[in-house]
Amino acid sequence: MQDKRLVNQQLLRCGYTTGTCAAAASKAATTMLFEKERVDSVSITTPNQTSLNIDVLNPQLTDKKACCCIQKDSGDDPDITNGILVSAEVSLTESKGINIDGGKGVGRVTKPGLDQPVGNAAINSVPRKMIEDSLNELARHYDYDGGFNVIISVPEGEEIGKKTFNPELGIVGGISILGTTGIVEPMSAKALADSIKVEISVIAAESNESILIFLGNFGKKFTEEELKLSTSPGIMCSNFIDVALDSSVEYGFKNILLIGHIGKFVKLGIGLFNTHSHNGDGRIEALLSCALEAGADLETLKAINACVTTNAVLDILYEKELLDKTMEILNDRIQHRIDKRVPPEANIGFICFANSGEYEGILFESDNAKELMTIWKTD
């Protein structure tokens, strides 16, 4: 892939996700079934509208099914899955619809609260939609009104999966097929941290005294759509809350407002200001401790301990009418951690939210959050 990004004065090549590989392999295999011949490349458009032409490896074709592989390319910021083969086997069915499942090397979900329900292959929603869209497009082109059976496999997936967080999440037997944009952005940890510092320095140089810090894309979207605030001046800090917070203080911002989803924000409650999974998790443990202080009984605590996502914990807390009290305790702990990190003259506030469930919306906020929000009011 030739698409590049300028990162820390270097042009780095982008790559594509396992989800893109799975969709491209599925499209190529289906094309072979309709054309009755092998193909050596396939074109696909990712969810962020990037057009790719990818080499097809190991094409095999019989009367009833076709299969092929796509090699994962992580670009200039390779991860553990760089270079692996993602395979798709496609067969036509009389019944309509597209059935997608995982074969060898694709993990299977064993705990609730993940993108897929228990028992499903760990092929996330966006890759599944990419596969469905590609196959529906081919069905229209070839005037086909039947269905498809798709099996996604990763020959090296079982061994690679053991080196990821999948076992802790309750995904067994292989890797997950992931991706939201379809593209892997080349960005090393140091380069990302450096870019955050530069972005903050630029905002400071424009004589701004206030800055928003979004913990991710969800935070920015929530700010625009739910809080109805301007998102400028603001930055996206991803996992680097520590870098964004420290740099904002160092550059003299008088008002700093952090806005983020509970999935990242909860880690601040145990002092993890760099929320990358490589540095540890602690999400469930943090919520477990807060729920205990809120008065949760033993059975509730056991149920929380069995969860693998924050949303699953929040569901339990909501059902047990412990959500408000638990969030109040977590709020106090995060405030304590921030107060220990930054000087008292810095006016730093925060807003933590959930974007699903009966409790959707703001879960908790600092005492000064409403006052800070007025700075970015658009009315």
pLDDT tens profile 262-306: 999 999 999 988 887 767 788 999 999 999 999 999 999 999 999
The mean pLDDT value of the chain amounts to: 91
Amino acid in position 333 = R
User: What is the tens place of the pLDDT at every residue in 320-358?
Assistant: 999 999 999 999 999 999 999 999 889 999 999 998 889
User: What is the tens place of the pLDDT at every residue in 10-61?
Assistant: 556 778 999 999 999 999 999 999 999 999 999 999 998 999 999 999 999 9
Say if residues 14 and 186 touch (Cβ distance below 8 Å): yes
Say if residue 2's pLDDT is above 60: no
Question: 112: pLDDT confidence band, cut at 50, 70 and 90?
Answer: confident
Cα angle value 364/369/370 (rounded, 5°): 105
pTM: 0.65
- At residue 191, the pLDDT reads 62
Question: 197: pLDDT confidence band, cut at 50, 70 and 90?
Answer: confident
CA 290 to CA 292: how far, in whole Å? 5
- At residue 3, the pLDDT reads 63
- At residue 160, the pLDDT reads 95
Amino acid in position 200 = I
Straight-line distance from the first to the last Cα atom of the chain, in angstroms, rounded to the nearest whole number? 44
- Residue 366: name the closest of 357, 309, 337 by CA: 337
Largest CA distance in the chain: 73
Token reading at 285:
């443990």
Say if residue 192's pLDDT is above 80: no
- At residue 165, the pLDDT reads 75
- At residue 53, the pLDDT reads 94
Say if residues 327 and 364 touch (Cβ distance below 8 Å): yes
User: What is the tens place of the pLDDT at every residue in 140-191?
Assistant: 999 999 999 999 999 999 999 998 878 877 899 999 999 888 877 766 566 6
Say if residues 85 and 71 touch (Cβ distance below 8 Å): yes
Say if residue 193's pLDDT is above 50: yes
Say if residue 7's pLDDT is above 50: no
Residues 239-245 have a mean pLDDT of 92
Cis-peptide into 344, omega within 30 deg: no
- At residue 54, the pLDDT reads 96
CA 4 to CA 185: how far, in whole Å? 9
Residues 128-134 have a mean pLDDT of 97
Cα 19 from chain centroid (whole Å): 13
Regarding the domain with residue range 4-184, which homologous superfamily does it belong to in the CATH classification? CbiD-like (3.30.2110.10)
User: What is the tens place of the pLDDT at every residue in 63-111?
Assistant: 889 999 999 998 776 678 999 999 999 999 999 999 999 999 999 998 8
- At residue 8, the pLDDT reads 47
CA 25 to CA 258: how far, in whole Å? 41
Residues of the chain with CATH 3.30.2110.10: 4-184
